[in-house]
């Protein structure tokens, strides 16, 4: 299914949400969050898309490769680690977002930044679900 044409109003609304969610977020952090959520959701299209954008934003290959094991890697800052932990908790929501994960993120981001980060995380999850469900694959559109 080509969701962009079949449900163009919904697609345009998600694009607008995506643009709003990105405001004020460091481009490298933004892509790390989007790649990690996409890895968890097994969205090959989004992984491909966001790793390409991460490279354009200046991200290194080494950090992209180690992202799936970020907790064991020494390559990420405390702020990035807090954002990645929050990304995992929000993406795997059935267990909820543990207080310690939220509190750690709140130590590294002011309230507005944290709100933007949360918006970014739920937006990339929407993209992942849209693309996985419609079986969008890398190299299309």
Helix (H, G, I), strand (E, B) or coil at 109: coil
- What pTM does this model have? 0.93
Q: Which helix (H) or strand (E) holds 42?
A: none
Q: What is the pLDDT of residue 15?
A: 96
Does residue 63 register a pLDDT over 90? yes
Q: Report residue 8 as tokens.
A: 């163009």
CATH code for the domain of 42: 1.20.1290.10
**pLDDT, the chain, mean:** 95
Does residue 34 register a pLDDT over 90? yes
Q: What is the pLDDT of residue 61?
A: 97
Q: What is the pLDDT of residue 10?
A: 95
- First-to-last alpha carbon distance for the chain, in angstroms, is 12
Question: How would residue 53 be classed by pLDDT, with cut points 50, 70 and 90?
Answer: very high
Q: What is the pLDDT of residue 1?
A: 84
Orientation of helix 111-133 relative to helix 8-22, angle to 10°: 150
- Report yes or no on 139 lying in a domain: no
The torsion region of residue 139 among left (phi > 0), alpha (psi -120 to 50) and beta comes to left
- Report yes or no on 44 lying in a domain: yes
- Report yes or no on 1 lying in a domain: no
**Cβ-contact 41, 132 below 8 angstroms:** yes
Which residues span the domain enclosing 87? 8-134
- Report yes or no on 140 lying in a domain: no
Helix (H, G, I), strand (E, B) or coil at 76: coil
Question: How would residue 90 be classed by pLDDT, with cut points 50, 70 and 90?
Answer: very high
- Report yes or no on 96 lying in a domain: yes
- Report yes or no on 109 lying in a domain: yes
Q: Which residue has the higher pLDDT, 13 or 137?
A: 13
Q: Which helix (H) or strand (E) holds 88?
A: helix 78-91
- Report yes or no on 23 lying in a domain: yes
Number of domains in the chain: 1
Does residue 51 register a pLDDT over 90? yes
Number of other CB atoms surrounding residue 16 within 10 Å: 10
Percent residues over pLDDT 90 in the chain:
91
Question: How would residue 2 be classed by pLDDT, with cut points 50, 70 and 90?
Answer: confident
Q: What is the pLDDT of residue 70?
A: 98
Closest CA to 66 of 53, 80, 79: 80
């Amino acid at each position: 299914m080509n969701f962009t044409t079949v449900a163009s109003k919904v697609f345009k609304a998600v694009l607008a949400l995506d643009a709003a969610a990105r405001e004020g977020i460091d481009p490298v952090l933004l892509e790390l969050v989007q790649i990690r959520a996409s890895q968890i959701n097994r969205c090959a299209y989004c992984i491909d898309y966001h790793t390409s954008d991460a490279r354009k934003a200046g991200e290194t290959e080494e950090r992209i490769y180690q992202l799936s094991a970020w907790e064991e890697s020494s390559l990420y800052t405390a702020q990035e680690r807090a954002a990645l932990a929050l990304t995992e908790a929000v993406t795997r929501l059935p267990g909820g977002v543990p207080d310690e994960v939220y509190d750690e993120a709140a130590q590294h981001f002011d309230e507005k930044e944290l709100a933007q980060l949360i918006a970014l995380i739920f937006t990339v999850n929407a993209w992942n679900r849209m693309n996985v469900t419609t079986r969008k694959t890398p190299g299309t559109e």
